[in-house]
Chain A
């Protein structure tokens, strides 16, 4: 039987605020354990949480960017459960009245655009970090707890089960990440846990409109992990059904090293969160004016920016898509084009050399030593004929690893291209005189002999000869044009 997958994603993203959601502790990542804590986030008796206004602003911003309706009335609720990463034994979250709901996010897979529904966006507090004494939680006689992360503001963004393939899920997460970065509400560092993703997956016969039993997959810490985990889980469910079994509704954890999902069944499976309105926080009444003010503050979002690059610069949709997938990369492109208006050439260098070197070093564009002014200057030197395209690539690598500007590298390494016709003509004449046999071959119709002669001129000039000029001089002397 042919099956299709039904996938929905739950994404948690830490917000880039200065302070936590309900207290003034810093949200900085990586401090010494339990140094970013106070009586409020530790849940000591007698304290009251007070909501950070910027968290609400960021939540509305994301709600708008995801085409959601922003609630006029919203409130916080307690989600009760016992786990030591949560010092209060409840998490302050939102239950029935989330800040935003009913949106959509268009994604593109294999050239086709598809709209993915956004069920809801809600605000909540992050939990602390556990360090287990053994190799796994169940093999640990004790665990250590660091509450620095407790109370860092989170947005939970829940999609409709509209995704059908692991590729679509990945495209959705990549697009969501781009929007979170464009709106500057989150760093989205999956490796630091500031962007986390869980997936609900089921399969059903193609053509069926009923949902199969789903499993929830956790612990996918990269885009690649998300795609691999979904591919594995879909195949696992297919094999269970095809061998006559049935899917058990459960939570499964992705094991990156083994490349499998494993059941997380625990003794206390029956969740009973007993949500109730948080009595320590008063409700939110969101004025339309505030929402409109935030809407006006929204930056140009990835899709609009992609369209602009296609329309204004004539970039191919693929190029425009790659460049706008990250706001920092798109900013780099725009700044370079402002200095060197040949957009297609800039795009070729950004997509080619720059991304190649960034990917090879697993670097982010913000860590790049090459700045827009440097790239623009390099392209100008090339346009002027001071350096050849080949030299430019060598200089680019040097700029990338040292941060030096191209002019300095050209001077230091003596890379200036020889474009002086008299100087080159002398070399060309010398080469022709020294290779009478090759000249004969060319005159006899062997076109390839020309390439050899160009090579000889390059060798004599240590690669600095202007290739166009060399060709021209050779052809003039060989009388072929």
Chain B
């Protein structure tokens, strides 16, 4: 498998998606660090996993359900307690677009 590398543009894209504001210095540093992490992944690529089934989860568990019963949630004052801003019982958020 070809070696995957992370460019500074990739870091900027991911930062945008994660709503992170990065300085130029941080962008350089994270590009380097992410490439190091990916380099480590390359070591794992060396393993032969041909006979191993892919898993969707780290635990060997399945079908964990709850029954369909409603129960009271949080009182509204508590739900809104940590909201930076609230109005009319609702969370108030800044301009969206």
Q: With the chains together, A53 CA to B63 CA distance in Å? A: 9
Do B65 and A34 have beta carbons less than 8 Å apart?
no
Contact between A51 and B65, CB atoms less than 8 A apart = yes
B17 touches A272 (CB 8 A): yes
CA distance A39 to B94 in the complex (A): 22
B44 interface residue, CB < 8 Å from A? no
What is the 8 Å Cβ interface bit string for chain A, positions 14-38, against chain B (1 contact, 0 not)? Answer: 0001110001111100001111111
- A283 to B59 CA separation, bound complex (whole angstroms): 10
Shortest Cβ distance from A30 into chain B, in angstroms? 14
CB distance B92 to A277 under 8 Å? no
Main secondary structure of the interface of B (DSSP, over half): loop
Residues in B with CB closer than 8 Å to A52 are 65-68
**Number of interface residues, chain B, beta carbon within 8 A:** 34
- Give the size of the chain A interface in residues (CB under 8 angstroms): 54
Q: Does B15 contact A (CB under 8 A)?
A: no
Whether, in the assembled complex, B56 has its beta carbon less than 8 Å from a beta carbon of chain A, the answer is: yes
Q: Is the CB of B93 within 8 A of A34?
A: no
CB–CB A141/B95 < 8 A: yes
Q: Is B47 an interface residue (CB 8 A)?
A: no
A51-B66, A144-B90 are contacts. A34–B97 as well, Cβ < 8 Å? no
- Closest chain-B Cβ to A18's Cβ sits at a distance in Å of 5
* Contact call B17/A19, Cβ cutoff below 8 A: no
Decide: B69 and A143 in contact? CB cutoff 8 A: no
> How does the 8 Å CB contact mask read for A135-157 relative to B, with 1 for contact and 0 for none?
00110111111110000000000
Q: Are the CB atoms of B97 and A138 closer together than 8 Å?
A: yes
Residues of B within 8 A of A33 (CB): 76, 88-90
C-alpha gap A241/B45 in the complex (Å): 49
Residues of chain A whose beta carbon lies under 8 Å from any beta carbon of chain B: 17-19, 23-27, 32-39, 41-42, 50-56, 75, 80, 82-84, 97, 130-131, 137-138, 140-147, 266-267, 272, 274, 277, 279, 281-285
Which 7 residue pairs of A and B lie closest in terms of their CB atoms, listed nearest first?
Answer: A38-B73, A144-B90, A53-B65, A54-B68, A24-B71, A145-B91, A26-B70
| 10 further A-B pairs in the complex, CB-CB below 8 A; given A35-B73, A53-B68, A80-B17 | A19-B69, A23-B73, A37-B79, A50-B65, A52-B68, A82-B19, A97-B56, A277-B57, A279-B57, A283-B56
